[in-house]
Amino acid sequence: MASSAINKLAGSRATERNLLLLAAPYTLAGMLALYLGSQRAGYQSLILGPAAVAAFFLVHLYWKKVGYKGDSYLLPITAVLSATSLVVLYRLNPAYGMRQFIWILIGLGVLLLTSRLLVDFRFLGDYKYIYALAGLIALILPIFFGQEHGGAKSWLDFGLFQFQSSEFVKILVVLFLASFLTENKAVLSAGTRSLGWLSIPGPQEWVPLVAMWGVSLLLLVFQRDLGTALIYFGTFLAMVYVATARVSYVVFGLGLFTAGAAASYQLFGHVRSRVAIWLNPWPYADTAGYQLIQSYFAIGSGGVLGTSLGQGYPDFIPLVHSDFIFSAICEELGLLGGAAIIVLFMFYVFRGIKISMNTKDEFAALAASGFTALLGLQAFIIIAGVTGLLPLTGVTLPYVSYGGSSLVANFILMGLLLNISHEAAADL
């Protein structure tokens, strides 16, 4: 029995090692191509690539040494996404690439700490109201002391760096919802009273849940961070459905979303502008619609194979390093490169669902489904925004867009997912 478990564990980390060995030449080739083909790329590009590869391998070797049993696919997927971020950002501006490299190292350090200090995941379910209080404070602070970027007042300025609290609050929201839904799952699923044909729970079960969710959304609306509010809302619905399997809750939630969207459209000029640009950006080609039109041009000019690294014109797109980095990828790596990024996120979501299904602990399963929904929705919303499928909401592409808050928060999210899979002791 013990020998079988050891072989199973070795196979898990061996899979991770083999996939990292495939990610390594991708990273090195990208940085080498920049060095050979771009006038702005200096010798640092020859250092950053190997250093990034080494950093991911060090995490792998540490986990192998301590017998960590976390999912063997998430780290390689993240390595490829991070490598794409590093290459594209360094191509856009070497300064962005250098900073992103530092944030990747910080993210990996936080990932190691998460996998070490929070490896016993179940105890996190005991502090749901602490998460609620901490999350609300973190969302209130930017309203009074925040800096505005891209129409959203969600950044706290600490001089040396800026901090977007909502990126970390989303993790607290998932932990709160997972804990509350686990505790009240039976009542929320069956209901305690009837409203016509519908069986509903009592106020003591649904009021705290809706209050936490509603206040979070309201604070995000005050910050005008509507993209993050949409992600919170979608994650909330996904977790409620996973916990209760009641379609009626989802239908009711979508009705609330429709009403909220209509109210936001009437109340906020920022929202009306985004919708108008989404429907027809051409009348705003010289003003607010400029970046979206340039995004369309970039994606279209990339064709199937792309213009190749350094041969496109992504600098024409404002915020190309952040909200529109997927457009830059499509321009220089083509439809195949963009599709590859989407497939990687799909596979990440697939692994997250597998982790949720393979754990026997209800709190861990709900948390895994929430983290997976959170990341999947964020990737979908920003890719849909820059391609014109949805109005642009101004969120980051996880692990790819420039930015320390988003990157570190998503490494914490991955660490918690890995801890859940470790606790389930499943080689997925």
pLDDT digits (tens, 9 = 90+) for 325-334: 999 999 999 9
pLDDT at position 416, please?
Answer: 96
User: 299: domain range?
Assistant: 1-118+272-427
Are 236 and 285 in a shared domain?
no
Contacts of 165 (CB under 8 A, 6+ apart): 138, 139, 141, 142, 154, 156, 405
Work out the average pLDDT over 382-406: 89
Q: Which of 242, 267, 292 is the last residue of a domain?
A: 267
Does residue 98 carry a pLDDT above 80?
yes
pLDDT at position 214, please?
Answer: 66
Are 96 and 133 in a shared domain?
no
**Position with higher pLDDT, 412 vs 270:** 412
Highest mean pLDDT among 23-32, 214-223, 317-326 belongs to 23-32
Contacts of 30 (CB under 8 A, 6+ apart): 49, 83, 84, 86, 87, 309
Are 105 and 31 in a shared domain?
yes
Are 261 and 148 in a shared domain?
yes
Are 312 and 256 in a shared domain?
no
pLDDT level of residue 5 (50, 70, 90 thresholds): very low
CA dihedral 65, 70, 71, 75 (to 10 degrees): -60
115 to 122, 169, 305, 420: CA distances (angstroms): 13, 19, 38, 10
**Position with higher pLDDT, 147 vs 235:** 235
pLDDT level of residue 206 (50, 70, 90 thresholds): low
**Position with higher pLDDT, 192 vs 134:** 134
Work out the average pLDDT over 118-134: 83
pLDDT at position 192, please?
Answer: 54
Q: What is the rounded average pLDDT for all residues in the chain? A: 83
Beta strands per DSSP E along 121-248: 146-149, 152-157, 162-164, 193-195, 198-200
pLDDT level of residue 11 (50, 70, 90 thresholds): very low
335 phi and psi angles, rounded to 5 deg: -60, -40
pLDDT at position 2, please?
Answer: 42
Closest CA to 332 of 304, 317, 312: 312
Work out the average pLDDT over 64-71: 92
The amino acid occupying position 19 is L
pLDDT at position 120, please?
Answer: 84
156 and 163 in contact (C-beta within 8 Å)?
A: yes
Least confident span in 46-50, 118-122, 223-227, 229-233: 223-227
Helix or strand or coil: residue 428? Answer: coil
Domains contained in the chain, number: 2
**Position with higher pLDDT, 298 vs 133:** 298
DSSP 221: H
Are 279 and 378 in a shared domain?
yes
Does residue 132 carry a pLDDT above 60?
yes
Are 159 and 216 in a shared domain?
yes
Angstrom distance (rounded) from CA 76 to CA 276: 40
Angstrom distance (rounded) from CA 317 to CA 211: 40
104 and 52 in contact (C-beta within 8 Å)?
A: yes
Are 68 and 186 in a shared domain?
no
Work out the average pLDDT over 225-240: 82
pLDDT tens per residue, range 35-45: 887 666 677 88
Work out the average pLDDT over 336-363: 94
Are 137 and 232 in a shared domain?
yes
Is pTM, for the whole model, over 0.85? yes
Share of the chain above pLDDT 90, in %: 43
Are 260 and 144 in a shared domain?
yes
Q: Which of 267, 292, 318 is the last residue of a domain?
A: 267
pLDDT tens per residue, range 267-305: 777 778 888 888 899 988 888 889 999 999 999 999 999
Contacts of 365 (CB under 8 A, 6+ apart): 242, 356, 357, 359, 420
Share of the chain above pLDDT 70, in %: 81
Does residue 53 carry a pLDDT above 80?
yes
337 and 26 in contact (C-beta within 8 Å)?
A: no
Q: Which of 237, 267, 297 is the last residue of a domain?
A: 267
pLDDT at position 246, please?
Answer: 79
**Position with higher pLDDT, 376 vs 1:** 376
Are 9 and 92 in a shared domain?
yes
Are 319 and 240 in a shared domain?
no
Cross-strand pairs, 157? 162
Work out the average pLDDT over 344-366: 93
pLDDT at position 1, please?
Answer: 41
**Position with higher pLDDT, 138 vs 238:** 238
pLDDT at position 10, please?
Answer: 40
pLDDT level of residue 205 (50, 70, 90 thresholds): low
Does residue 254 carry a pLDDT above 60?
yes
> What b/e string do you get for 310-342 counting C-beta neighbours within 10 Å, with b at 16 or more?
eebebeebeebbbbbbbbbbbbbbbeebbeebe
pLDDT tens per residue, range 139-194: 777 766 666 655 555 556 665 666 677 788 889 989 988 988 888 777 776 655 55
Work out the average pLDDT over 57-64: 96
414 phi and psi angles, rounded to 5 deg: -65, -40
Least confident span in 11-20, 81-90, 197-206, 227-236: 197-206
